[in-house]
Amino acid sequence: MAGPSSSWAHALVQISPYTFSAIGIAVAIGVSVLGAAWGIYITGSSLIGAAIKAPRITSKNLISVIFCEAVAIYGVIVAIILQTKLESVPASKIYAPESLRAGYAIFASGIIVGFANLVCGLCVGIIGSSCALSDAQNSSLFVKILVIEIFGSALGLFGVIVGIIMSAQATWPAGSA
Amino acid sequence: MSTFSGDETAPFFGFLGAAAALVFSCMGAAYGTAKSGVGVASMGVMRPELVMKSIVPVVMAGVLGIYGLIIAVIISTGINPKAKSYYLFDGYAHLSSGLACGLAGLSAGMAIGIVGDAGVRANAQQPKLFVVDTLNGNYLCSARDCVGIVGSKHTGNLVYCLKCCYGLGLDWIGLNGMKVML
């Protein structure tokens, strides 16, 4: 098979697949935790403010914080799975097409999980904050707004599913040395 | 390795297409869910009995995430240079179909969010507006899904450019139509 055949390819084949894999793993956990933290502070600040006049809401509305936290846990799980996909190949095969593909698969998988969890955490945080505020007004609204929050938290799960399916493509060439 | 055929770096673009499909669709779904959810919660304080009925925009925004998931899985299982040759053409086609699906999903989600927010608040005051509110999201979802699946089978560029414009055009119509109705 011939060498790189386009301008992008000339640049991309010079980058080690391990670079892409490492960045993918870091993004998977780093950006997921960013999303979880963002959601938690949005929810938490509204919850604490609303609880001044309605202290009864505090214990129930911690569920919103837990939904945001789950997003960070998804990021940790996928980062651990992705790093077990890393294998060492002999130096002659680092730039072989199959290892390049494995590097790209881990990179894309990490990007997917990281950014899907980022937007999921934000979404759950915003809904959690309005859940706390409307619960303070009328306690029958809590469960109804929680249903909306569950729809929001499904987005993180989509990211995890696709990330794990894609990481199955990360097959490195068998090393002989 | 002797069975590998195709260009070496084509999988980069292919996987990035799958990533774009899911990430941008999830961004749209998150925006739609959050924006309409805030509208539902605000409206529910005054009219708690309408909350369950007003969850429709949230459900439609959630469906956008599922569409992105489907396209991302279709693309990523199609990248198999050992079973089927994978050239740069295939990589670019997957990238474009993923971007088409994802960006249309992002715009659909933003439209659903804004229209849903305004719609549920208006519905609380005027019950006749319920159907107008729900129709807007549907056009965008189906246009975008067609684009993604068509693109991943490498058919002509013109077809999916047109379908993308169709989806985004309805986005504009939906937003302005809502203002006209009120």
Q: How many A/B residue pairs have CB atoms within 8 Å? A: 175
| Global confidence as pTM | 0.85
**A90 within some domain:** no
CA distances from B21 to A67, A136, B10 (A): 24, 38, 17
Q: What's the number of domains chain A is made of?
A: 1
Answer yes or no: do B15 and A107 touch at CB < 8 A. yes
**A8 within some domain:** no
**A70 within some domain:** yes
**Alpha helices per DSSP H over A51-140:** 57-84, 97-137
**A99 within some domain:** no
- Min CA distance, B86 vs chain A (Å)? 11
Contact list in B for residue A13 (CB cut-off 8 A) is 8-9
A141 touches chain B (CB under 8 A): yes
B15-51 pLDDT, tens digit each: 999 999 999 999 999 999 999 999 999 999 999 998 9
What is the structure's pLDDT at B27? Answer: 96
- Min CA distance, B112 vs chain A (Å)? 14
Ranges under pLDDT 70 in chain A: 1-5, 175-177
What percent of chain A is predicted at pLDDT more than 70?
Answer: 95
Residues B170-180: what's their mean pLDDT?
46
What is the structure's pLDDT at A164? Answer: 95
CB contact at 8 A, B149 and B78 = no
What is the structure's pLDDT at B165? Answer: 45
What is the structure's pLDDT at B5? Answer: 64
**A26 within some domain:** yes
What is the structure's pLDDT at A4? Answer: 62
Please give the ipTM for the structure prediction: 0.91
Name which of B8, B19, B34 is nearest A152 (Cβ-Cβ).
B34
Name which of B8, B16, B18 is nearest A97 (Cβ-Cβ).
B8
Q: Give the 3-state secondary structure of residue A24.
A: helix
The nearest alpha carbon in chain B to A97 belongs to: B8
**A147 within some domain:** yes
CB contact at 8 A, B160 and B102 = no
The nearest alpha carbon in chain B to A174 belongs to: B1
Answer yes or no: do A165 and B51 touch at CB < 8 A. no
A177 touches chain B (CB under 8 A): no
Name which of A126, A138, A159 is nearest B22 (Cβ-Cβ).
A159
Q: What is the CATH number of the domain that holds A112?
A: 1.20.120.610
- Min CA distance, A111 vs chain B (Å)? 7
- Min CA distance, B182 vs chain A (Å)? 25
What percent of chain B is predicted at pLDDT more than 70?
Answer: 68
Answer yes or no: do B41 and A159 touch at CB < 8 A. no
Answer yes or no: do B81 and A166 touch at CB < 8 A. no
CB contact at 8 A, B140 and B170 = yes
Side-chain-side CA neighbours of residue B72 (13 Å): 35
What is the structure's pLDDT at B129? Answer: 73
What is the structure's pLDDT at B83? Answer: 78
Residue A124's nearest CA partner among A50, A72, A55 is A72
CA distance linking residue A144 with residue A135, whole number of Å: 10
A23 touches chain B (CB under 8 A): no
Residues B80-100: what's their mean pLDDT?
87
**A95 within some domain:** no
CA distances from A9 to A2, A13, A90, B8, B139 (A): 12, 6, 22, 8, 38
CA distance linking residue B145 with residue B101, whole number of Å: 6
The nearest alpha carbon in chain A to B55 belongs to: A148
In A, residues 119-138, which contact B (CB 8 Å cutoff)? 119-120, 122-123, 126-127, 130-131, 133-134, 137-138
**A2 within some domain:** no
Place of tokens 């670019």: B92
Residue type (1 letter), B87: Y
Burial readout B152-166 (b: 16 or more C-beta within 10 A, e: otherwise): beeeeeeebeebbeb
Distance of CA A125 to the CA centre of its chain: 15
Residue A23 lies in domain: 17-83+105-169
Name which of A111, A119, A127 is nearest B27 (Cβ-Cβ).
A119
What is the structure's pLDDT at A43? Answer: 96
Answer yes or no: do A155 and B76 touch at CB < 8 A. no
